[in-house]
Structure 1
């Protein structure tokens, strides 16, 4: 409770409007009487600090708060008297604030027991009546000025009556004075219950810069903690979508997420499928292809921007193809040792249209130790070969994985089975260089000449010219039956010994003891004739994949007539690839 704040309210002030209560009602008169009774009651309570009252300038009031002399004339109602300089301040008491439950009360600060406020002059009653506005004078029967609007039903708000009923009954200047006193009292340590910060508001939701509302007003001294931030949940997009059937197994499965990052993707069905996550972890793409006619389930985990984990499960089924394709044959075969000129060859059971060849090449992965780059080349519509740019390094280990199951190789054609093979490049690099014009052959082993011997190759008849080109040994036989019927009595059917094959069309390096022109004339039907001792020596030394290079003729061997792969230059070889050069199955610059 604050003592000595504001002027007293005259018990019977006259208003300048509404005299005789012509416009008033009994209820208004009753309220006016109640107001006067309350003021009188407060005065009767014995306020301990006397409020400053205006006195005329010629007043003979004694110092120390004595009453003015009797018979003193009152100031004119029309002129408010100036404040008494001797009463510039009034004293208010500190009202202690009870400590919170469970805590000892803090000792009062002796230096803050009182607070001084500046004197607020009290105007004559007639001025208050005039300030109140038409129909607002006390005692006139009209409703006085109120800081808080009265309830519609006329009932007094209990909280308002407890916290500020007196202020609600004061004229505007009285309210301003009372508000000033309350502000100074709060600064001096006086505790007062306020309904909000400066700027307005009621006790339930006041806002401003003061000490916040009793019931949660937002102020600098009483703000509530901010709620935890919320983030949108990750949104998933998958291809295929959940529940899709007849999915093309050759197409990659993709996952993308908005409002989050992918932490894991597991795709299982006929086999576990790996994938690649983007650098920003917003998308994932499967590697390889899926099985045909198989049910798959994919489980995706992602986190939102706040770190909360979300899981999504997607199910789909791949199609059953109406046509299939397979592998007819592979060279050089598995678990064999071959020469440095041996390419890898795969022949399919049906042709593969050019628009599907890149996918087929991609699925056929060649890995080597030591690592070496190479490329597939379509030597025919149903056949492709893989080789390095140069001859193999001796001792290289080669693995071929044909991951073809589910790969699409036509409009309705799919591979249905995987294949693989492993082989080794032998430790000896053997090459035979045949110079048809010089009628001789030179053997090199690991770069060193180890033997030179005379030969006789095909005649100048276009039918019998020996194929030029770089070839690989296909196999050996001892003996080998050879037949030919070229007309005009040129016919034979003989068994020859120490025969080493280099083309499918029937070119061999073999012994020809009947040929007396070896080393002088080219007179054969296309084979390379050698003396028995030289043919035997080469036969015993050669392996499948060893290089035989023939030079000096007008005919170039076809790639598919044996293994004529090395006859093609590297740039031309790459032009026959739909996917390009690879290293360990991964694309590389050619």
Structure 2
């Protein structure tokens, strides 16, 4: 029986940043021999050609809010810079580049909307005295922002088929701009690629996977540097995330529709071959690889939720040991009402049914991200029906990257 997915695990959505106001002045060392707030340096001849030495920040302490299109520049007037840090509690630190001689630092990371930034810089005047600068400014609040709902969750241990998946709450016209700010690193290292698709709800989604399943024990890190990134049409990101997760044992299951069996293996060693009953004619179980999305010990299955009415309708209030494989409603579960059909007849409405004892055993073996591959059936599961990513060949997968 196919049931509608009502929830997904590991949901983490960033909230928009709080807005604040601040203020822009260019701070410089006083020419009378005194020191301005946050500054240190000599007047007069301490700089080149007798000019006052100073660190100048643009934008500095400002009354007007700063457009996110602005770059931050830090200049050593009559000297050189030693260090520059531009940071915000939400979006994090900005990256930047140095000029030759380190007299100028220019930001390369976009500013995030509605954020307060603090600039801290040190340097040395040409006459040898120390220069220091602290300044802060607030960026304009974006009128339109987006966030990405990502999986798996931070700290999770998942199966070898679990992709990194991000679904966005707003359309993403400039997919290349977003993809450039998404990074996945793995240890041990493995080649992987991003691929764009439309989720089942029509939202823009991007998944990352290796060419083949992850190796057990792999440590994976997702970096989302989306704060201040324009997704197109003035829709700005607000998220800065670092998400670490690990890959567990390789628990793989293969369902043969013709043989009516499911073979379960762990790290290459077969554990058991179970007798099953899959979808009958007109309700065939999806062919191809599906990935475990969730597990619940008991669930109600009502055919109304998946559009099955009339003579084929059903309403079962206590279905045991349910392993969800697709949002469209494919489960592997106990089906005691089909006793006598396991290994003999395919009699379900698309789910993988088995005895209660076998279903409980299977439930205990598998976890989020484990692959279940169906062979000798029809209608391969769609790439966006859960994680049908593995049904796309590698070359086609890479071509769906916005940076291909």
Q: What's the CA shift for 1:560?
A: 2.3
Q: Distance in 2 between matches of 1:501 and 1:396?
A: 24
Which residue does the alignment assign to 2:323?
500
1:425 to 2:240 alignment: no
Higher percent of residues as helix = 1
Which string of whole-angstrom CA distances, capped at 9 and with x for unpartnered residues, describes residues 493-532 of structure 1? 1122222111111111112222222223322100012233
Are the structure 2 counterparts of residues 252 and 452 from structure 1 closer, same or farther at C-alpha, using a change threshold of 3 Å? farther
8 Å Cα contact 1:250/1:406 also seen in 2: no
Higher percent of residues as strand = 2
Q: Distance in 2 between matches of 1:500 and 1:368?
A: 28
Gapped regions of structure 2 (runs ≥ 5)? 1-47
8 Å Cα contact 2:59/2:66 also seen in 1: no
Which of 224, 229, 238 pairs up with 1:402?
224
8 Å Cα contact 2:69/2:111 also seen in 1: yes
8 Å Cα contact 1:261/1:280 also seen in 2: no
Q: Which has the higher contact order (CA 8 A, sep 6+)?
A: 2
Q: What's the CA shift for 1:430?
A: 0.5
Which of 355, 361, 367 pairs up with 2:179?
361
Q: What's the CA shift for 1:421?
A: 2.9
Which residue does the alignment assign to 2:258?
437
Which of 439, 463, 466 pairs up with 2:285?
466
Which residue does the alignment assign to 1:350?
170
Q: Distance in 1 between matches of 2:244 and 2:65?
A: 35
Which residue does the alignment assign to 1:479?
298
Are the structure 2 counterparts of residues 409 and 481 from structure 1 closer, same or farther at C-alpha, using a change threshold of 3 Å? same
Which residue does the alignment assign to 1:330?
150
Q: Distance in 1 between matches of 2:233 and 2:369?
A: 37
Q: What's the CA shift for 1:577?
A: 1.9
Which string of whole-angstrom CA distances, capped at 9 and with x for unpartnered residues, describes residues 418-472 of structure 1? 334332211x1100011212322211211122221222211221xx121122121
Which residue does the alignment assign to 1:453?
274
3-state secondary structure, aligned to 2:195: strand
8 Å Cα contact 2:303/2:309 also seen in 1: no
Are the structure 2 counterparts of residues 491 and 295 from structure 1 closer, same or farther at C-alpha, using a change threshold of 3 Å? closer
1:554 to 2:378 alignment: yes
Which of 390, 396, 400 pairs up with 1:572?
396
Q: What's the CA shift for 1:533?
A: 3.0
Which residue does the alignment assign to 2:43?
none
Are the structure 2 counterparts of residues 528 and 413 from structure 1 closer, same or farther at C-alpha, using a change threshold of 3 Å? same
Which of 387, 391, 397 pairs up with 1:563?
387
RMSD of Structure 2 on Structure 1 (CA): 3.7
Q: What's the CA shift for 1:545?
A: 0.8
Q: Distance in 2 between matches of 1:388 and 1:279?
A: 40
Q: What's the CA shift for 1:346?
A: 2.0
Q: Distance in 1 between matches of 2:382 and 2:70?
A: 36
Are the structure 2 counterparts of residues 575 and 248 from structure 1 closer, same or farther at C-alpha, using a change threshold of 3 Å? farther
Q: Distance in 1 between matches of 2:131 and 2:389?
A: 52
Q: Distance in 2 between matches of 1:296 and 1:558?
A: 47
Q: What's the CA shift for 1:370?
A: 2.6
Q: What's the CA shift for 1:347?
A: 2.3
Q: Distance in 2 between matches of 1:543 and 1:337?
A: 9
Moved more, 393-402 or 521-530: 393-402
Greater gyration radius: 1
Which string of whole-angstrom CA distances, capped at 9 and with x for unpartnered residues, describes residues 177-208 of structure 1? xxxxxxxxxxxxxxxxxxxxxxxxxxxxxxxx
3-state secondary structure, aligned to 2:378: coil
8 Å Cα contact 1:508/1:527 also seen in 2: yes
Tell me the TM-score normalized by structure 1: 0.50
Which string of whole-angstrom CA distances, capped at 9 and with x for unpartnered residues, describes residues 474-499 of structure 1? 12222221111534422211122222
3-state secondary structure, aligned to 2:264: strand
Q: Distance in 2 between matches of 1:316 and 1:533?
A: 64
Q: Distance in 2 between matches of 1:467 and 1:373?
A: 28
8 Å Cα contact 2:159/2:368 also seen in 1: yes
8 Å Cα contact 2:57/2:75 also seen in 1: no
* Matched ranges for 1:164-175 at <5 A: none
3-state secondary structure, aligned to 1:540: helix
Are the structure 2 counterparts of residues 256 and 269 from structure 1 closer, same or farther at C-alpha, using a change threshold of 3 Å? closer
Q: What's the CA shift for 1:252?
A: 6.1
Q: What's the CA shift for 1:473?
A: 0.7
Are the structure 2 counterparts of residues 479 and 249 from structure 1 closer, same or farther at C-alpha, using a change threshold of 3 Å? same
8 Å Cα contact 2:253/2:262 also seen in 1: yes
3-state secondary structure, aligned to 2:360: helix
Tell me the TM-score normalized by structure 2: 0.70
Q: What's the CA shift for 1:554?
A: 2.3
User: How many aligned residue pairs are there?
Assistant: 336
Which residue does the alignment assign to 2:161?
341
8 Å Cα contact 1:433/1:550 also seen in 2: yes
8 Å Cα contact 1:472/1:546 also seen in 2: yes
Q: What's the CA shift for 1:543?
A: 0.9
Gapped regions of structure 1 (runs ≥ 5)? 1-229, 581-590
